[in-house]
Each structure stands twice: as C-alpha cells, then as structure tokens.
Structure 1
Amino acid sequence: MTKRLLTFFLFFIFFLGNTYAQKLVGARVVDYITNIDIAADSLLKVELLAADSSFIAEGWAARMGNEPKYKTYAEAVVEREGSYIMRVSHPDYYTLYAPIQIKFYRRESNILLGKFALKRKLREKTTELGEALVTATKLKFYFNNDTLVYNADAFITQQGFVLQNILQKMPGLTINNDGEILSNGRKVETLLLNGKDFFNNDRKTLLENLPAFMVKHVKVYEKEKDTTSLFERERELKGLVMDIRLKPDYHSNFLSSIDAAAGTDKRYYGRALGLKINDFHRWSVFAGANNTNHNEELTRNGQFYNIDNGIGQKDFYNAGVLYNVDEREGRYSLEGKARIQWSKEDVDLKQVVQQFYDKYHIFQLGTSSSSSRNFSFQTEHSLSLFSTTPWSFTIKPSFSKVTLKNHSENSGASFDRNVSHLLGKAWSDSIRLFSLGETLNAYGISHANVLSFAPSTITNAKLEIEKSIDIPHTDDKLTLNASAYRACITQEDFSLRHVDYIRNAQKQSQHQYRNEDHDKWTWTAQANYLLRWSDHHSFSGKLSYECDQLNSSDQFYQLHHLPGWTLQSDVEKLPNNDLLQQAKDSRNSKSYQEWGNNLVGELGYMFQKGKYDLNVSIPLRYLHRKLDFFQKNNDQTVYRSQFFPDVNVRFATWLGGQTGYNYSFSYELKHEMPMMLLLVPQTNDINPLSVEQGNPELDNITQHKINGRFYWAPTMRHNHTVNMNYTYTDGLTSSMSLYNERTGVTTSKFRSVNGNQYLQASLEDAVFLTPRYTHKLTNKISFNYTKSVQYNGLSLQEADKPSTVHNYYFIEEINYSFAIPNTKIRGELAPYVHYHRSTSIRENFKPLHATTFGSHVSVYAELPWSMRLQTDLRTISRRGYNDESMNDNEFIWNANLTKAFSNKFSISLEAFDLLGQRKNVVRFVNAQSTTESIYNNLRQYVMLHLTWSLNKR
C-alpha cells in the first residue's frame, strides 16, 4: 500500500511540474500593410506586462529561418497561467499593446499567439541629397553567414541575357539540360523566385525566359523545414535551395516572347509565351508548333522543357495554360494547368536480337515502320481552400484523354547464325521485300510480315480530397485523405500477317481483328497521425484502405475464315456484326473481372537533431485479390491473400554550410503480388510465332533496395561524391521460353525467377584549378553490374534450367571546363569511355564485349556587337556490336550564332548535325538475349530564328 501511495505521489508531483512549468510564448511580427516580417534587430523591443500594465519581464525578438524567407517572432517567458499584455515597439512603427490570455497544457511547451501587425509611422520630412558618382568594381559573390550570394549584375556582359546565361557564368554552379542545378557538386533541391516555389517543377521556363537584368541576387543556402509557413506545400521544403531575388521594380511583371523559325529540309519552329508574375501569382499561357522533335512542356516558371524521347521524326502542335495563386494572408492557394496537343510521329526501327541457347544462338533480324496521329487533352488542379480556418481542405481534380491512331509495317526473320554481314548494310530492305534468296534458304528458320492499324482511346479521371487537422495545444497533426480514380481504355487492332516457315516449307496467312475494353475504378481512404513527442522525436501512425474493380473484355476475330477476306482485303475494314461473330476466335477471346483490397497499417519513428535525420517506418499490408475469368471451356476463379510486413529506413546528415561533409543511407523491403491474369492457366496463340501460357504457381515478389551517398567538400574549390545503389529481387515475374528450331515458334510460360541483382557505384571528384573558379576538372568513375536470371532453351530440359548472364559496365568520364576572360569565353572538353562485358556459364556462350568511346567539345563565345557563338562537336565510336553497320564512328557538329539588337529583339542561326552523321543506337542485354536497335532521327538542317520579347512592369 505504501509503495502505491508513493508511486501516486511521485506521479502527481511530476504531473504538476509539467502542468505549471514555465512556457515560451511568441507571435509573428509583420508590417500591417505589406504583411512582411519586420527585421529582428536591436530596434525591435519586446516586453511582457501584467494585465494592469505593470512591467514583468523583458522579452526579445527572434529570427527563424534563412534570408530571405526568415520570420520574426516577439517572444517572452510566462511563469504561470493568466492574463498578460505584450508590448512591441519599434522607432518606425506605432507601439502595439496586445492583450493575451495564457493557459497551460501538458504537451504544449511553446504557445504561438498568431500574428502581430505593426502600423508604420508616416515620415515627417524628406531630405533630398545631391548626386554623387561612385565608380567601383562589382562584387561577384560573397557569403552572408551560411548563405552564398551572387550579384547578378556582375555576370551580365551582353544584351539579351536570360537567367540561364548568368547562372552558367557563376562560379560553382552547373546547369544541366533537364533543368537540374548543381552547386559545387550538390543538387539544388528547390528553386525559388522571390522566396516562392512556383517554378520548382518547371525550372526551364524560368531559366530560359526570365531576363537577366531583372535579377538582383541569386542566393544559395541550406533550408530547414518551416512549420510556420502560411502555405502547407512550403512547410516541407528542405535541403539546398536556390532563391532568385528580383530587383524591387520587377516584383510584379509581365513577360512575353515569340520565337519563329524556318529552315532547310522543310523544318519550322514556332513558340509563343505569356507569363505574368508577382509575389503571390503566376499565370502562364503558351502555344507552339514545330517539326523538330520538340514536344515542349511549359513549367510553372515559364520554362519550356522537351519531353520527347529523341527517336523518329515528329510534328507537334500544342497550347496550354498554367497558374499558381497564393492569397496574401494564406486563406487559399490554387495551382493547376491545362494542355492540348496534336502530334504526328514517324518512327523507323532496325533491330538485331541474339537469343542465347546451349546448342547454338538464334539471331532475329527485324525492321519496322510506324506512323501515328495522336491527340491529347490533360488538366490537373490543386485547390487549398479556407486555409486559415478549421474548415480548411485541399481538393485535387485531374482529367486526361488521349486518342491514338497508329499504322505500322513490321518484317522479321530468324536465322541459326548472324547473317547481317552477309546481307550488307541494307539488310532491312531485303527482309522487308522478302528477297533473301540463298541466305534465307541456307540459314533461315522463319520469316514474317505484319501490316497493322491500331486506334485507341485512353481516359483518366481522378478526384482527391485532403484535410489536415492541427491538434490544439500540441504540435501533433492528423491528415485525412480520400480519392476516387477511373481509367478507361479502348483499343482495336486490325492486322494482316503472313508467316513463312522456311524449314517446313509451309506458309500461313491471317487477317485478324482485336477489340479490347478495360474499365477500372479505384477508391482509397487514408488517415495519418503525426505525434511530435519532443523537439527531436516524433511518431507516426497511418491506416489506409484501397479497393479497386476492373472489368475487361479482350476479343479476337479471325477474319480470313470468312469467304472473300484475304490479305488483299482492306486492313481497316470490318464485316457486319453477324459475320464478325462467325469469325470470333473463342479459344483466345476472354473477359474477366478483378477485385482487390489493400489494407495498410504503418508505424513510423522520426528523429531530428541538428544535422542528423532518421526515419523508420514499418508498413504492415494485407492484400486480397480475386479474378473471375471467362473463356470458352475455361472459366476460372483465382484469388490470393497475403500479409506483407515491409520496412523503410533512412538516415541522413545535412550540410550546414558550403564546406564539410554529409551522407545518407536507406534500406527498403517491399513485397508485391504478380498480376492476377498471369495466374490463370490459359494459352494465347493469336500470334503464331509467339505463344503465351499462364501459370497459377507464380510466387510473390520480394525486393530489397539499399542506397548510400557520401559528399565531402574540404574547401569551396574541391568536392568528392560517392554513390551506391543495390537492388535484389526474388520472385520476379518472367517467363520460361521454349524455342522450336524447326518452326521459329517461341512458347513462353510465365515463371517466377530468383536472384536478379543490380548494383551501381560511382566516384566523382571535382576541383577548381584556380582561385577565381575559372578552370574546373571533374572525373567520374562508374561501375554498374546486373545479374539477370531467366529460363529459355531449345528443349524442355534446357528451358527448365536457369540462364544467368552477368553484365559489367565500366564508365570513365572526364570533363575539363574553363571560363575566360570575365566568363565571356567558356568551353569544355569531355572525353569518355563506356565498356560493356557480358558473361555466362551456360554452354556455347562466348563473352560479349562492346565499347563506346568518344568526346564532347563545346565552345561559347561572346563576340563584339552583342553577338554570341555556341558550337559543340561530339564524337561517338562503337565497337563489338553484332550488326556491323553499328560498328562505326559518328561526328555530330551543332552550332548557333545569335545577334541581340536589344533586350527585346534577337536573331539566331541554328545548324543541327552539320555533318549528317547522327544515329540513335540502343543496346540491351539480359539472360535470354542481346538486343541492338537503331532508330531514325532528325536529318541535318539549318534554321533561322527571330525572337521578340516584351517585359512590362
């Protein structure tokens, strides 16, 4: 009994101590008109008064965050509950007396009082000073505590410069083609404009369109999370930040530009942009048309980004609008975009596939030509409403629709050896025209020609609602999320196929039609609670539920079975419905319904102290899926239920300044189920040369991922970066392929494989050779390794044995860059070597060796009369490819000469691939085969651009 009373007494004393301990109270101090924080200097005075205005204690002004996003707080310590007055004074403002009522809560150590808005006093007198002329050298950059500040004017050396031109001149900064920015080798996580992140996802628009003369400073600093930001999306921003600060006269500005161009080879390019920016709004409209493979997406900062994959010859026509609106007081935040596009795409492909078998290897030579016409509309929005009230929420609607019409012609042949060297460089024409003669008869296995037309429509719609609730008198937060998603896919495929089985002296002709319809609904609900136990320790709990339903129909029709339907029939023509049903291929046609339930409970722990950051989460997932499959004489029901304990661990340190070191490590364990349709025991032989079979014995997929990074900058001029990524996968869904060497038919049964691995490691060293950062040398050594495991063979015995191929990639890249004098002349020399070796212990496998080497030389020069010359020469040499036509050398030379007549008008001459040697070659190796592909691309051209820009305040 005594022990119980003592325990109760100690608990009571502890409770009282925590209940009535002193508390820190604070409030934001801002200008009443501009809503900008008042500087936290010695002029700002804070005092705590009793309710009767008697003095109790001095307070203080505190600054949180880095410039320019700092926040000023008036703070004081309160010893007990009650009524008080906080007096805040500043010589330039009227003194504010703010009555406050303080009540203590157990888990509330700091009490936030909201915002104190001070009214500025009117200036009584203005003294006009005489003019003074000061001549000085512009300071290029300096440090303000841990913030690196560049003076933008010091890097403007010509008219017509935009933001990207001056960033490329700034010591220590690197701008990549995709908009990635590096500062002394470290990735800039967030790009801000006047402290706002409107353009972080659309960097290239800002980089290429913001006039340089509007920029005052460029600041680079380390940012911590800011839980006091008015806008929720900005609270989680963390890491290395670049903030573009505009001159005061340009905080509200309208930008517009028109770029029109025409050139040889009937090339044209046109683009128009209108961009309205200020501290709380971003509005952008754009339109474009070109046949130079520029599928341009506009970023929120006004930058155009080419999202094309670089293959084929394409025409694009698009237009769109983007917007971002933050209400000054934080009551709402809106952002969104809409885009419409039409495109014409022509792609030619020539491909050599070497399939690995014990007896001998099979070589497949193929060629294809496709022409597609595509139309798309996409729109997405995020609306955060009533943000300063308890009724705040965020709604995110999105919608997209894509229609495609693709015509293609494919030809291919299989051989028991590599015959590309016997057929010459024009072997693709021989295969397409079926004129192989003795070579085909001597070494050929099969030959096929396929003519097809495939129209399709893809529609997606999603609505997501999110609600965040700050738990009163704590730092805890509850987040609720619900969403509904629907995806509809309709696709048709009209095809004419002719197959020659060379060794059997047989032929097969097919006129086929396929009609697919897929309709999928997905509903999700999620609750996430974040408990901030102390300044350094937090816990989280998440519960989510997702259910989905898929209705699919996949119908096949053999039209050549109908009287009068042959390979000479119109490929896009269909018979009436009665005749169509007579041609139905019931053995391959199918329909199915699939349901899924995914319940996840997740526990998490977070530790943050100083530069250390630890995150641990354990998602516990229960998955249940069911599929009802309907096919003639093969109705099936398959289902699978599984409990998956996953793991996510991440530890990282942060770099406090521009020198020092940081590192990170992460581990992820993830489980997945295979696709339910693959579990159905079915056979699909709609393509006579490729037969697929399901497998109800497929395993679940288990994947381990390990990532590590170490960065060390002993000085501002020298840094080292080490990266490592490793992935190990068991249960990966692949196939066991059995190849019939008499007919060329591949029968594939889906099968789970274990032991696939991927390792990537790199070491990069960068050093500035001169104190003025004008010469830089970078060396990067990379090693990649893949272990690919699959099953294939010419017999069941061989196909049942795992085939393992080890791929080793060694990459050496050296880059020397310079900038002289005053960065008016810049250049780089970048030699490289990529070596690829493939090995295997399977019989008849000889190690494969492929090497690609070359260099990249570029020069940028600012010439007299506001002219700029930019030229680059890239050399590429390939060795070790099966297709001899790929073992060659390329010299790719591009050039651009620009003349700026003012900050508004410029003219430029662009020359693309002057020597006409550019190719697009891709090589891929796995456990079953080596694939070498070469695509068509743009031919050489010369184009004249006229660019007009308007900047209006």
Structure 2
Amino acid sequence: MEKQGSRMKGLLKFIGTLGLLYGVSSGMAARAQETGAREDTTQVRTIPLWGHVKDGFTYTALHGTFVTLMREDSTVVDTMHVQCFNPGTPQEDTYYKFDVPARRARYIIKAEHPDYYPEYVDCAVRYVARNPYVDARHHEMRRRPYASFADRSLGEVVVKATKIRVAYRGDTVVYNADAFNLSEGAMLNELVRQLPGAELKPNGEIYVNGRKVDYLTLNGTDFFKGDNRKMLDNLPAFTVQQVKVYDKTTDRSEFLGYDTEKKAYVMDVSLKREYNTGYMANVAAGGGTDSRYAGRAFGLRYSDRSRVTLFGGMNNTNVYNDRPGENGEWPEESLTNGEFVTRQAGGEFFWQNKAKGIENSLTANAEWSDRDVNRKSATEAYLPQGNRYTRSFSLQDVDYMGGNANNWLTWKTKDHLLTVHSYVGYDRTDTHGYARDAAFDADPSAVGGIDEVLDSAFLLPSSGSARMRWLNRSSTRSLFEEWKYNVGHDMMWDAKLPWGDNLQLRFTGSLSRTENDRFEHYLLDYASSRSEADRRNRYDRGRRRNYYYQPSAEYTFNFPNDWHFLTYYIYKQDYRSDSSPRYRLDSLAGWEVGAARHLGELPSARELSAALDVPNSYYRHDLSRVHTLGLRTFYSRRTEDKYVWFNFHLPFTQSKEDMRYRREEIDVGLQRRVFRVQPDFTYLVYWFGGTRYFRTFMVNADMALGTPDLVNRLSVRDASDPLHVRVGNPYLQNSWRYNFRTGFLHRSPEKKWFTQVNVNAWLGVNDVAQGFSYNSETGVYTYRPQNVDGNRGVNGSLAFQKEGMAEYWNVGANLNYDFHRSVDLSSVEGMTESVLSKVHNHETKACLSTGYQRGSLTLNVGCDATYRHADGSRADFNTVDAFDFRYGLLGEYTMPWKIHLSTRLNMYSRRGYDEAAMNTDYLIWNASLSRSFLKDRLMVKVEGVDLLRQMRSVYMDVNVQGKTETYYNIVKGYYMLTLGWKLTRNPKKRE
C-alpha cells in the first residue's frame, strides 16, 4: 500500500507539473495576443493573405506566374512571383503570400502568365479576430490558344539522360526508376527492393533509412489504402517513372492550413506520362517443375481525374510473400510456411472532380486459399528444480475464403471538409488437423530428432528407457470451422469558423459477429500409474457478438503566433457478448473415442444438452462506457530554412466497465471504474540547407495505463485442456508502460550521403505475466496471471548511405542493437513460493552493402551478422550465444540479343545453437533469363527458385519461460517458364 501510495503521489505531482506547463503556455499565447492588440494602437497589425495559382484545365501548379495585389480602386499594393511548396511531389503547389492590414478591406488580385489569359480574383477581409491568415479563391488560369503544349510547365521532375539513381530535394528523396536494372516482367516490389536505403518486409511494410513508411500512394492518391501488397505485387515496374519518399502534410492539416497532426511518411509512385492517361493491361502465366504454376492479370484505366484498376492471380509457389533469398533478410522471414495455394481478385475505382474538392475511392478484394502446414518443435521449459522438455508434431490443412469492400469519400470546400469511410468484411476458415505431443523430464535429444523421439514415446511403455522417460503423451484429431463478418462506418466533419477557430464532429462505429465450432478426438496418457488415461470426444461452440460506437467533438483555438489550443470530448460505448458452451460427447453411450462416429458428427439436441461440460463452459457479457476529456496545445511554423512542430497532449479518461459472467456455480456481476491520465508530447524540427544539408530531430514520450481482463480477477479454473490449466487471480493490479523515442538525421544532397541515429526505450511497471506451476509427476502446467516489475527494453540504430562513390559505386551500412529484459514467475508443485525468473536478451546486428552500376550491369554485394546473447538469473539457466550471418551477391545484366540475366546468391549460416539441426548452412540461389519480343509486348522468362534445393524453415525463440526451436515444411526449389503480354492504349494527342 505504501508503494502504491507513493506512486499515486508521484503521479499527482507529475500531473500537476503538466497542468502548470499547460497553463503557462496558454498564458503566454494569451499574453502574446493581448500584446499584439495593444501594439495595434501604435502600429498596424498584419495578417497573411494567401492564394494559389493553377492551370485551369489540369489543375496543376503553374510556375512563373506574376501576381499583383490591388485595392478596390485598382491602385497597386504589392507584387511578387509565385513560390512553390512541395516541389516535385503530387502535392506541388504554386502560391503567393502578401501581408495585409488586419482590418476589413477588399482587394483585387491579378495573376499573369505569358501563355495564359490574366485571371482576376476578388478577395474580402471581412472578419479577422483570431484568424491566422486569409485565403483567396484559387486562380484557375485559361491557356491562350497560341501557346505550345511543349512549353507548358507541369512542375514535374525532369530525369536527365545520365540516369542518376537518387536525388535529394529538401526532405524529399527522389528515385529514378529507369536508372535501375530490372528483369522483364518485374513488379513494383522488385524495384522497391533495389532502392538504396529501402527495406521491404514480407508483410508489405516498407522502411526507408530505418523509418517505416506510413502510406504507399500512386500519383499522390491512395491505392488500396492500408494494403501495400496490392500495389507492390501487381503494378508493373515498367510503368513507373519515379518513386518519391517525403513527409506529407495530411489532408486534414492541408485543409486547415497548419499541421494539426504529425506529417505522414509517404512513398509515392509516379507513373510515366504515357500511363497517366489511357489503358494498360499486363497478363502473365507460367508453369514449372513439381506441378508448380503461377498466373496474374492486371488492368489499369487512367485519366487526369479517375482510375479503374482490376487485378487477379493464382499460384501454388508460396509467393504470397517474397521468394526465399530475394530481400536479403533471413530466408524464413520471407516464407509462407507450409505449401500454399492462393487465388485472389480485386478492383478499385477512384474519381475526383476537376477542383479536387470531391473524391471517392471504392475497393473490393476476394481471396481463396488452401494451406498445408507440417510443424515440428522442440521446447525446453525453464523450471526451478530442473528443466522440462517437449517434442511436438502437427499437420494442418487450412481452407480460407474471405473478402472485403471499402469506400472512402472526401468532400472539401473552402470552409468545410467531410470524410466518410465505410467497410464490410467476411471470412470463413475450415481447418483439419492432427497432432502428437510428448513431455519428458530429461533431454531426449540422444534418441534422435523430433520424429524419432515421438515415435519412441508412442511405442514405449510408461516406464520408458534409461535414455528417455516420458511424463505424458497426447494425440489429437481436430476439425475447426469459423465464420466472421464485420461492418463499420467512420464519418468526420471539419469546419473553419469565421472568427478563425476550427470545429470537428466525428462518429465512428462497427458491428461484428463470429461463430466457430471445434471438434476434437483427444487421447492423453500419463506415465504415472496414479493418473488415469484421458479419452475425450470434444465439441466446443463459440459465439461472439460485438458493437461499438464513438461520437466526439473537438474545438481548436487558433492564435496568430502559430500556437493552437484544442479541447475535445469523446464518448465510447463498447459491448461484447461471448457464449462458449463446451461438450464432452464421450460421456454419451456410443460416442466414445474410437466408436464409429465421424469427426464433426453431432448427436441430437437432447443428447447434446446432456453432454454439456459444465465446469468448463462459460457465458460472458461486457459493457464499457468511456468518457474522455482532452486538452492539447501544439505549435507549427514553417520558414524558409526551418520547420518546427511541437505537440503536448493531456487526456483525462473515466471508464466504467460492467461484466456479467456465468460458469458452473459462479454467476457474478463485476463493475470497475478507472480514471486515466496518459500525457504524451512530441517535438520535431527540420532544418533546410538547400543543396548543402537537410536535418531532422525528433523526440517523443508517452505513458499508458493497462488494466487486466476482469475474468482474470475471478477465482475460476479452466481445465478444458488437461495439460494446461488456467486459474484467475483476484489480486491483479493495473500496469503502466512508459515509452521514449528520439532520432536525428543528416542528409547532404550535394554529396549524396546521409546518416541517421534512432534510440527507443520503454519501461513496464506492474506488468501482467503468466506465472505457472508445474506438476513434475504428470507434466501438467497450471497458469496464473501475476504482476511483476522489471520488464524493460532499449534499442538503437545507426545507418549510413553514400550514393555515387567514384561515379558508379554506392555503399551502405547499418548497426542495430536491441535489449529486452523479461521477468516471469514459475514454480514446481510442493514449493512454498514462486521463483522470480529474469532473462536478458541482447541482439546486435550489423549490415554492410556495396553496389556497382554501369550501363546495363548492376552488382550488389552484401553481408550481415546477428549476435544473440541470452542469460538468466537462475543458476541452471543455459546461456545462449548464437550467431546468424549472411553474405551474398545480386546481379542484373542485359546480355547480347537483349537477354536479361538476373541472379541472387546468398549463403545463410547459423552457429551456437544447442540443437544440431539449427546449426546450418543454406546456399540459396535464384536466377532468371528473360527477353521481350514484338516491340516489348511479349515477355518470355525462365526462372529457377532455390536451384540448389537447400532452403529450410527453422525458427528459434528464447523468452523468460524457455526456448523453442520450430521447423516447417516449405515449397522446394523449382524451375518455371513464364509468358507475359502487355498492352497499352493512349488517347491521341491534340495537335
């Protein structure tokens, strides 16, 4: 209690300090406004008058425009040429800014360009108050008929014939797609993998210079938002002109005129001019050895304001992720474990009006897959009185069918922004499985591998042999069927108020339902004669319904000194209903395991009710109501050579949770009220030094309160799995997590190099861990959640990239370190108290790569090494010192007769693992030959994947409770012949 009281006092002091800071900053802004008002008596206060100039037909930026500001009587006030914001990006904007007196007035603004008719716009300054600026209506310039289309400036980045791979423009990195050597038929993912400083993860996440890309866009607009793999796997690389990576102002911030939220880190793919309008189709089909096949089709219809996309594909080559050895990571990180057959289809329709004030995006996806997984694992559990060992084997056949549809609508005027997102999804999964498991009181590795150990355990009597005595053994045949559907809606409306403030109203809600049925024939034997064999014919029926809705309102006070103060209120109501009756069909006559009953067969409803497993069935209803009142202050200013963004957020949350829980003799209603204060702050600054440098610095900190599941605080016992029993803990407390992040980047566009440093740290207080006790006679684990202190971690990274060394060379290096300290509790039955176990995991990874490119030849040599060290607090802990290292070569070359060779050769090695099968050397070699015919319309490609057939899928995991080595089946190496056809149709150019 004293410890908890001291923590509460510390929290109250922390909150008081934060409140004082908030009040001081608020007073400073108010005082600045009052000072500005007093100064109005001696000097005229000014306010920026902004305007934008665009081509009236394409609505693109118009460079070289001369703007004149005049009074109502046409007397000239000021003149200037337009400036450019976000040059070379889809958000490129030519604008002007005049400082005018902050009082009622009317102005005439004239825009002139040699190739366009003059355009006049009237602008009235009606009401200043706290308005930080005045926005004039856009100048939509009409082109003179004699102006040549060739003279027209679209503000695009011109790529010179020298084919420079990378260019830096302020905070924007521009990659020239034509400067990279790619094989025929390559998709966008192959291009992204070759970008200097870029890393493509198997799940489609993209990292550039160690920083995760938030969105992948196409010509500045979303493309299957949130699903990068759709574009990466289906967009042909030959259509791409440039790839730009930069910090993009969000749509909401762009509308409001200041950064109300942190910029998004975006990778934008710009299509070549010939694919920006017209039609494009790309079809490919291939057949290979071992009955392997792959096919895909992609169609795109594009115009200035609309886009229609259709795609489809099917394969049995496990290329839902990347092929092994393609991305330079450890090969199994890019594998789909098992043998995977997938079929998918989808489409997108995007439209926006001429002024880009209304846009709509509709996407739809469907997928069918069949996956056969063979899994083997060897586990060593750390226990106070000697470790325990488990060997497992499982087979699964998983059939999946699912789909979803999303629609995003945006409507924007000068003073209003409405965004609406609606979605619907459906999934169905059918799984057939078989598994064998055995537990031992001594390491059985001397008997052989996992298969040999399990075969011996299921053949030997309970006494076993001198080399191997098993504690328990089990086998399971299972059938699992699940259906899910969900619908949701999110609507947000923003308004600019006449006196300069902003109002936002938002409503979010969703509805979901899940149904599943699980059938199992389960056989369990114990070595001890005091424990009877367990034979179960089980049926579990799960039903879940969930809904939530969340209305919110937000009001922002804007001040002329670039400070903003925001307050908001959110109400969220969340309801969940869980019904989980479990049945022991073996309790019915004629339904025992081994009887002539098929897996998945059910008795009559009357018989089924008699077989209810009352102690392990439960019914649960949860209703939570959460009220949040938030205060936030932020500062956003952009000058010619600097950008600063500061954000401090102080939310106060009051939640009320009600739970009704029924299980056997328990029928209880619980209620919990929790008050949370979870502040966070971010400071971000950019320095712009032209071609000399670009620098960024960021620091962020936050804290979060976690509450344990109410069920875990009940004194209930779940023995539905006889080897893994779970009990509750009425004394569980809330937990805290503290996070800190900082980073610095320096880039020299002139010398084409950059370096970046990032550091992250976290601390857990009162974390909930799954402590356990172990029955050394039967091998049964009993898990009980408990609070522990001491979990913490830190990680850091250092990156360096140099482009254009000695004209044709580039080099890159990365160093990463990760430390994680995990704490848990364990005991063996008969011990008076649990033993606190602490494990320290250290991982250090160093990567070095160098590349050479000249003409059609590209060579990249890379190596990386990872050192893992794990030590524990227990005296009998087996320290882990393991090394993973890789070295390899990537080559692209166009040979005579326009035959393109692509090859990747990587050696993957492991050392220092206890299991001999983990200490391996894999030489993974992928290669392809391709050529185009018929004016590049027909593509022929021969490729070999894992030519030496050495690929394996092996994983190792070390944590506070033990270590596990896992093996999966995968698709072996194969050869494939692929034929592809591409078709493009463009509208005829106007003379």
TM-score normalised to the size of structure 2? 0.85
The sequence identity of aligned pairs, in percent, is 23
Matched with 2:17 is none
Deviation for aligned residue 1:208: 6.6
One-letter amino acid of the counterpart of residue 682, structure 1: V
* Partner secondary structure for residue 614 of structure 2: coil
Between 1:230-239 and 1:357-366, the stretch displaced more is: 230-239
Matched with 1:131 is none
Matched with 2:727 is 693
Asked whether 1:314 is paired with 2:337, we answer no
Deviation for aligned residue 1:67: 2.2
Residues 349 and 368, structure 1, Cα contact 8 Å, conserved in 2: yes
Q: 1:427 aligns with which of 440, 447, 452?
A: 452
Matched with 1:756 is 791
Deviation for aligned residue 1:605: 1.9
Deviation for aligned residue 1:167: 7.3
Deviation for aligned residue 1:829: 2.6
Between 1:423-432 and 1:307-316, the stretch displaced more is: 423-432
Distance verdict in 2 for CA 1:413–1:18, change over 3 Å: farther
Q: 1:840 aligns with which of 872, 876, 897?
A: 872
Residues 138 and 154, structure 1, Cα contact 8 Å, conserved in 2: no
Q: 1:103 aligns with which of 120, 126, 148?
A: 126
One-letter amino acid of the counterpart of residue 840, structure 2: H
Asked whether 1:371 is paired with 2:397, we answer yes
Q: 2:979 aligns with which of 929, 946, 949?
A: 946
One-letter amino acid of the counterpart of residue 66, structure 1: N
Asked whether 1:572 is paired with 2:605, we answer no
Distance verdict in 2 for CA 1:19–1:313, change over 3 Å: farther
Residues 354 and 362, structure 1, Cα contact 8 Å, conserved in 2: yes
Give the unaligned 5+ runs of structure 2: 1-30, 152-158, 323-331, 987-991
Q: 1:116 aligns with which of 139, 146, 150?
A: 139
Matched with 2:774 is 739
Residues 183 and 902, structure 2, Cα contact 8 Å, conserved in 1: no
**C-alpha offsets along residues 127-174 of structure 1, whole Å, 9 cap, x if unaligned?**
99xxxxxxx99233497974776766666899877777777788x564
**C-alpha offsets along residues 93-112 of structure 1, whole Å, 9 cap, x if unaligned?**
33444444432422235321
Asked whether 1:726 is paired with 2:754, we answer no
Deviation for aligned residue 1:470: 1.4
**C-alpha offsets along residues 205-228 of structure 1, whole Å, 9 cap, x if unaligned?**
656766677666666666666879
Matched with 2:625 is 597
- Following the alignment from structure 2 to structure 1, what is the Cα–Cα distance between the partners of residues 481 and 296? 29
Distance verdict in 2 for CA 1:756–1:399, change over 3 Å: same
- Following the alignment from structure 2 to structure 1, what is the Cα–Cα distance between the partners of residues 264 and 897? 42
Deviation for aligned residue 1:190: 6.0
Matched with 1:3 is none
Between 1:348-357 and 1:868-877, the stretch displaced more is: 868-877
Residues 378 and 450, structure 2, Cα contact 8 Å, conserved in 1: no
* Partner secondary structure for residue 46 of structure 1: strand
- Following the alignment from structure 2 to structure 1, what is the Cα–Cα distance between the partners of residues 311 and 685? 41
Matched with 2:534 is 508
Matching of residues 135-534 of structure 1 within 5 Å: 138-141=161-164, 146=170, 172=196, 174=198, 176=200, 193-198=218-223, 238=263, 245-246=270-271, 248-295=273-320, 310-385=336-411, 387-388=412-413, 393-424=418-449, 426-427=451-452, 430=455, 434=459, 438-439=464-465, 442-474=468-500, 476-504=501-529, 506-534=532-560
- Following the alignment from structure 1 to structure 2, what is the Cα–Cα distance between the partners of residues 544 and 156? 52
- Following the alignment from structure 1 to structure 2, what is the Cα–Cα distance between the partners of residues 630 and 481? 36
Matched with 2:19 is none
**C-alpha offsets along residues 515-546 of structure 1, whole Å, 9 cap, x if unaligned?**
11111111111222233323532222221111
One-letter amino acid of the counterpart of residue 521, structure 2: L
**C-alpha offsets along residues 175-217 of structure 1, whole Å, 9 cap, x if unaligned?**
6366677777777666655444547856666567666776666
Deviation for aligned residue 1:586: 1.0
* Partner secondary structure for residue 581 of structure 1: helix
Give the unaligned 5+ runs of structure 1: 1-6, 129-135, 298-305
- Following the alignment from structure 2 to structure 1, what is the Cα–Cα distance between the partners of residues 605 and 758? 60
One-letter amino acid of the counterpart of residue 39, structure 1: H
- Following the alignment from structure 2 to structure 1, what is the Cα–Cα distance between the partners of residues 548 and 216? 34
Matched with 1:645 is 677
Asked whether 1:62 is paired with 2:82, we answer yes
One-letter amino acid of the counterpart of residue 918, structure 1: M
- Please report the RMSD computed on the Cα atoms of aligned residues, expressed in angstroms: 3.6
**C-alpha offsets along residues 626-678 of structure 1, whole Å, 9 cap, x if unaligned?**
21111221112222211111021222222535634322221110112112222
Asked whether 1:48 is paired with 2:70, we answer yes
Residues 313 and 936, structure 1, Cα contact 8 Å, conserved in 2: yes
- Following the alignment from structure 1 to structure 2, what is the Cα–Cα distance between the partners of residues 940 and 156? 25
**C-alpha offsets along residues 721-774 of structure 1, whole Å, 9 cap, x if unaligned?**
2222222212322222111111111111222222212222222333457232x3
One-letter amino acid of the counterpart of residue 71, structure 1: D
Distance verdict in 2 for CA 1:34–1:663, change over 3 Å: closer
Residues 48 and 76, structure 1, Cα contact 8 Å, conserved in 2: no
Distance verdict in 2 for CA 1:57–1:338, change over 3 Å: same
Residues 131 and 560, structure 2, Cα contact 8 Å, conserved in 1: no
Deviation for aligned residue 1:81: 2.8
- Following the alignment from structure 2 to structure 1, what is the Cα–Cα distance between the partners of residues 252 and 191? 33
One-letter amino acid of the counterpart of residue 200, structure 2: N
- Following the alignment from structure 1 to structure 2, what is the Cα–Cα distance between the partners of residues 688 and 240? 49
Between 1:561-570 and 1:511-520, the stretch displaced more is: 561-570
Asked whether 1:665 is paired with 2:699, we answer yes
Distance verdict in 2 for CA 1:111–1:803, change over 3 Å: same
Distance verdict in 2 for CA 1:797–1:529, change over 3 Å: farther
- Following the alignment from structure 2 to structure 1, what is the Cα–Cα distance between the partners of residues 845 and 178? 39
TM-score normalised to the size of structure 1? 0.88
Matched with 2:917 is 885
Residues 919 and 937, structure 1, Cα contact 8 Å, conserved in 2: yes
Deviation for aligned residue 1:400: 1.0
* Partner secondary structure for residue 980 of structure 2: strand
- Following the alignment from structure 1 to structure 2, what is the Cα–Cα distance between the partners of residues 504 and 846? 32
Deviation for aligned residue 1:467: 1.0
**C-alpha offsets along residues 834-861 of structure 1, whole Å, 9 cap, x if unaligned?**
2222212224223233332332332222
Asked whether 1:559 is paired with 2:582, we answer no
Residues 256 and 496, structure 2, Cα contact 8 Å, conserved in 1: no
Matched with 2:963 is 930
- Following the alignment from structure 1 to structure 2, what is the Cα–Cα distance between the partners of residues 16 and 811? 60
Distance verdict in 2 for CA 1:571–1:16, change over 3 Å: same
Between 1:541-550 and 1:611-620, the stretch displaced more is: 611-620
Distance verdict in 2 for CA 1:246–1:750, change over 3 Å: closer
- Following the alignment from structure 1 to structure 2, what is the Cα–Cα distance between the partners of residues 856 and 761? 26
Deviation for aligned residue 1:498: 0.9
**C-alpha offsets along residues 541-584 of structure 1, whole Å, 9 cap, x if unaligned?**
22111111111111111111111112123221111011111111
- Following the alignment from structure 2 to structure 1, what is the Cα–Cα distance between the partners of residues 684 and 981? 47
